[in-house]
Amino acid sequence: MIETKNGPIYEPTTSVSESVFNSLKKYQETLGGSRAYEDMKDIYETLEYDFGQNKRHVG
């Protein structure tokens, strides 16, 4: 989990979003709060939602 001023970012639940999460974690100190960081966080959350929903419907 990554603590941010806008709330926590939770560990990935799918392998698809793992690399984005790792980048968020790596660059939090230098980019946290910037527009680029927020955009990357939005991408991560979208991937988590989209692939998490898809995972529930498979099998």
Residue 18: predicted pLDDT: 93
Angstrom distance (rounded) from CA 59 to CA 53? 13
List pLDDT tens digits, range 1-26: 888 777 788 899 888 899 999 999 99
Instruction: Report which of 6, 23, 14 is spatially closest to residue 47, judged by C-alpha positions.
Output: 14
Instruction: Report which of 4, 15, 56 is spatially closest to residue 40, judged by C-alpha positions.
Output: 4
Angstrom distance (rounded) from CA 56 to CA 47? 14
- Pick the residue with more confidence: 16 or 35? 35
